[in-house]
Amino acid sequence: MWKTVFLSAGLAFVAVTGSAQSLNTDVANMRADMTLLTQRVGELSLRIEQLERDNAALRTQTANSAQAYATVQQLNDAIADLNRAIKASDAALAERTAAQIKKLGDATNAALDSLSKGQAQRAALPTTFSDKFPSEGISYTVQKGDTLAVIARKTGSKSADIINANKISDPSKILVGQTLFIPGGK
């Protein structure tokens, strides 16, 4: 029926305008518009199908995620279990730590006792110095790595003379940069 109406309208238009060519142009334009509308309807149909698939996937995810939730009571129970486990491990760790500290303390005390016994047996360092050393000599500045024996060897002197001349009470405690008188040194 609509075709008839359109056709009648189209014929009337031809009769009014008097041009058959104008009618052909209008029909061609209508066909192009129909083709575009058909394409657009097809695109929209594809989009609706995609949205329906997405919606189905979301429903499936929602159903699966509902099972993944825990209740507040379940969380409270899990926290209580963790607290009990932590307290138990803390107590065991404290006992092990106390035992290790006691062992270290005993070992330290034994080492200190050993050192103190060794100090008592060590000969006392001389606190008096002899004046029997050459009065002539050179000055020497202690370098890194020097000991009295090394200095004596370098300068051709004797360690005992260097100790007496400089009144060194502990030969192991000479300092880098310290200036010493080297009796008989070259």
| Residue type for position 37 | L
Q: What is the Cα–Cα distance from 70 to 53, expressed in whole angstroms?
A: 29
The model's confidence at residue 135, banded by pLDDT at 50, 70 and 90, is confident
156, 184 contact by CB (below 8 A): yes
Query: Residue 183: its pLDDT value, please?
Result: 93
Per-residue tokens: 133: 């050393």
Environment class of 19 (CB within 10 Å of its CB; exposed 0-12, middle 13-18, buried 19+): exposed
Predicted confidence (pLDDT) at residue 148 exceeds the cutoff of 80: yes
171, 160 contact by CB (below 8 A): no
Torsion angle of alpha carbons 97, 98, 102, 104, nearest 10°? 20
User: For residue 176, which of 139, 140, 143 has the smallest C-alpha distance?
Assistant: 143
Q: What is the Cα–Cα distance from 54 to 44, expressed in whole angstroms?
A: 15
Q: For 42-97, how does the pLDDT look when each residue is reduced to its tens digit (9 = 90+)?
A: 998 999 999 999 999 998 887 776 666 778 888 899 999 999 888 888 888 888 88
125, 168 contact by CB (below 8 A): no
The distance from CA 134 to its chain's CA centroid, rounded to whole angstroms, is 65
182, 138 contact by CB (below 8 A): yes
Q: For 41-50, how does the pLDDT look when each residue is reduced to its tens digit (9 = 90+)?
A: 899 899 999 9
Q: What are the residue boundaries of the structural domains of the chain, listed by start?
A: 2-63, 70-122, 137-183
Q: Residue 4: count other Cβ atoms within 10 Å of its Cβ.
A: 8
Domain 137-183: CATH superfamily, name plus number: LysM domain (3.10.350.10)
Strand, coil or helix: what is 87? helix
Predicted confidence (pLDDT) at residue 138 exceeds the cutoff of 90: yes
Q: For 3-45, how does the pLDDT look when each residue is reduced to its tens digit (9 = 90+)?
A: 554 555 555 554 555 566 888 888 888 998 898 989 998 998 9
The model's pTM: 0.35
